[in-house]
Amino acid sequence: MPSLKELRNRIASVKSTQKITRAMQMVASAKLKKAEEAATAARPYTERMEAVLANLAAGAKDLPNAPRLLAGTGKEETHLLIVATADKGLCGSFNSSIVRLARERIAKLQREGKTVKIVTVGRKGNDQLKRLYGGLIVSKTDFLNVKQIGFEQAQDIAEQALKMFENEEFDVATLFYGRFKSIISQVPTAQQIVPAAAPEGVETPDLKGAVYEYEPDEQMILRALLPRYVAVQIFRALLENVASEMGAKMSAMDSATRNAGEMIDRLTLSYNRARQAQITKELIEIISGAEAL
């Protein structure tokens, strides 16, 4: 049984840990509101762009001069996986759930004989993936020195992916990220961004029989719109990741704080029992000594 000194030291150590987890929970709670507002504000623009893309693509995808970002290369042999996670841990299973989804996709593609390339966005995803698939990682990006993630970071990642596509380094690109649903729910999501395809469930606008004439034509609009669409999707994923990370961290630190409190209660009970036993033993020794005299 641990001594009283050891129990006191353990109680003090757990109390210090509890203070840290409570502080981290409060910080995550403060950051969550701003991150959630940013992610929510980005959704209408992204969803509207998806609807416009779906409307334009419906008539231009099968044309012989359709943009390659829309029509694709005509094959699906090489896949680029852009795996976006957080740079820091202590946020529950947020990072590992995204990486798990990416690993499942990698294993599936490799079983089909496809070539896989990986671009990691976020230090945690890179650390987890390089253990098994380090040879497949062609690029890594983190935001440890970035105070606030903006469209500039998403644009850099999009330009890198588009340059690889122009150089025919891959045929299909899929983006992995955590979609923020609530504080206790972050959904790992995989979305194809090259060739550009509106996600399932996106409804094209009801024109009520009207016919739009585009100036310039659909192909020219798509050539300008598609690169921006890729950047916007990546930007949205980064914002969703930040909100998801804060929500997961807030939930994880809340659980850690409560667990620390329960551990303190158990250690305190053990300490009181040990102290009482020691006092009883000393009394017995005193009484026994007095009776011996």
pLDDT confidence tier of residue 222, bands split at 50, 70 and 90:
confident
pLDDT confidence tier of residue 102, bands split at 50, 70 and 90:
very high
pLDDT beyond 60 at 202: no
pLDDT beyond 90 at 99: yes
Where are any strands of DSSP class E within 49-171? 78-84, 115-121, 137-141
User: Does residue 291 lie within any of the structural domains?
Assistant: no
For position 2, what pLDDT does the model report? 77
User: Does residue 266 lie within any of the structural domains?
Assistant: no
For position 21, what pLDDT does the model report? 94
pLDDT beyond 60 at 207: no
User: Does residue 16 lie within any of the structural domains?
Assistant: no
Please indicate whether residue 92 or residue 219 has the higher confidence score (pLDDT): 92
User: Does residue 253 lie within any of the structural domains?
Assistant: no
pLDDT confidence tier of residue 58, bands split at 50, 70 and 90:
low
Mean pLDDT score of the chain, rounded to an integer? 87
User: Does residue 293 lie within any of the structural domains?
Assistant: no
Q: Residue 68: which CATH number?
A: 3.40.1380.10
Q: How many domains, the chain?
A: 1
For position 134, what pLDDT does the model report? 93
Query: Above pLDDT 90, what percent of the chain?
Result: 59
**Per-residue pLDDT reduced to its tens digit, 109-125:** 999 999 999 999 999 99
For position 256, what pLDDT does the model report? 94
Tokens of 61: 């995808």
Domain that holds residue 234: 41-248
pLDDT beyond 70 at 63: no
For position 45, what pLDDT does the model report? 87
**Per-residue pLDDT reduced to its tens digit, 245-291:** 999 999 999 999 999 999 999 999 999 998 998 888 888 888 887 77
With 0-12 / 13-18 / 19 or more C-beta atoms within 10 angstroms meaning exposed / middle / buried, residue 208 is: exposed
**Collapsing DSSP states into helix, strand and coil, what is residue 118?**
strand
For position 195, what pLDDT does the model report? 86
Between CA 234 and CA 157 the distance in angstroms is 8
Query: What is the enclosing helix (H) or strand (E) of 173?
Result: strand 172-182
User: Does residue 30 lie within any of the structural domains?
Assistant: no
For position 243, what pLDDT does the model report? 94
Per the document, the length of the chain is 293
**Per-residue pLDDT reduced to its tens digit, 125-175:** 999 999 999 999 999 998 877 778 889 999 999 999 999 999 999 999 999
User: Does residue 261 lie within any of the structural domains?
Assistant: no
Query: Above pLDDT 70, what percent of the chain?
Result: 88
Catalytic residue ranges: 91
For position 120, what pLDDT does the model report? 96
User: Does residue 262 lie within any of the structural domains?
Assistant: no
Listed in sequence order, the residues at least 6 apart from 7 whose beta carbon sits closer than 8 Å to its beta carbon are 267, 270, 271, 274
pLDDT beyond 70 at 68: yes
